[in-house]
Amino acid sequence: MTSNQQTVIVGAGFTGLFTALHLSHQNYPHPIILIDRSERFCFKPLLYEYFSSDLDAMQVVPRYSDLLEGSGVTFVQDTVESIDLPQKQVKLTSGKSYDYNHLVLGLGSVPSYAKVAGAEENALPFWTQKDAIAIDNHLRECLRQAVETEDNALRQRLLTIAMIGGGPSGVEMAATLADFVPIWYSALNGNPKEVRVVLFNHGDVILKGDVNVNLQKTAEKELQQRTAPVEMVMGAKVSGIHSDCIEYQRDGKAETLAVGTTIWTAGSTIHPLIKELPIPATQRDERGRLIVSKTMQLADFPEVFVGGDCAVVKDTTLPATAQVAYQQGATIAHNLQAIACGHPLKPVHVSLRGTLLKLGLHNAAANIFDTIEIDGEIAHLIRQATYLELLPTPIHNFKATSEWLKEDVVERYMNGNSVVGKTVAQAGELVNTAVAGVMAARKLLQKLGDDHPRQS
Q: pLDDT per residue over 114-146, tens digit each?
A: 899 999 999 999 988 899 999 999 999 999 999
Report whether 79 contacts 411 (CB < 8 A).
Answer: no
- Reduced to 3 states (helix: H, G, I; strand: E, B; else coil), residue 92 is strand
Can you point out the beta strands (E) in 242-377?
245-250, 253-258, 261-264, 268-270, 290-292, 304-306, 311-313, 354-358, 364-368, 372-376
Q: What angle do CA 145, 151, 153 make, to 5 degrees?
A: 95
Mean pLDDT for 2-14 is: 86
State how far the Cα of 254 lies from the Cα of 9, in Å rounded to an integer.
47
Report whether 77 contacts 53 (CB < 8 A).
Answer: no
State how far the Cα of 21 lies from the Cα of 18, in Å rounded to an integer.
5
State how far the Cα of 175 lies from the Cα of 179, in Å rounded to an integer.
6
Nearest CA-CA partner of 385 in 440, 447, 326: 440
The full length of the chain comes to 456
- The pLDDT value recorded for residue 56 is 73
What is the reported pTM? 0.83
Confidence band for 402, pLDDT divided at 50, 70 and 90: very low
The overall average pLDDT reported for the chain is 85
The interaxial angle of helices 129-148 and 168-187, nearest 10 deg, is: 40
State how far the Cα of 220 lies from the Cα of 303, in Å rounded to an integer.
46
Residue 394 neighbours by CB distance under 10 Å: 13
180 torsion bin: left (phi>0), alpha (psi -120 to 50), beta (else): alpha
Q: Which residue has the higher pLDDT, 427 or 279?
A: 279
- The pLDDT value recorded for residue 88 is 97
State how far the Cα of 58 lies from the Cα of 53, in Å rounded to an integer.
12
Q: What is the pLDDT of residues 231-268, one digit of tens each?
A: 999 999 999 999 999 999 999 999 999 999 999 999 88
Q: What is the pLDDT of residues 145-180, one digit of tens each?
A: 999 999 999 999 999 999 999 999 999 999 999 999
Ranking 19-28, 184-193, 377-386, 405-414 by mean pLDDT, the lowest is 405-414
Beta strands 74-77 and 32-36 are parallel
Burial of 9 per CB tally in 10 Å (0-12, 13-18, 19+):
buried
Q: What separation, in Å, do the N-terminal and C-terminal C-alpha atoms of the chain show?
A: 33
The domains found in the chain, sorted by start residue, are 7-37+78-111+269-341 (3.50.50.60), 119-266 (3.50.50.100)
User: How much is the CA Rg of the chain, to the nearest whole Å?
Assistant: 23
CA atoms within 13 A on the CB side of 169: 20
**Helix or strand (DSSP H, E) at 432:** helix 424-451
State how far the Cα of 185 lies from the Cα of 193, in Å rounded to an integer.
9
- Reduced to 3 states (helix: H, G, I; strand: E, B; else coil), residue 374 is strand
The overall longest dimension of the chain from CA atoms, in Å, is 74
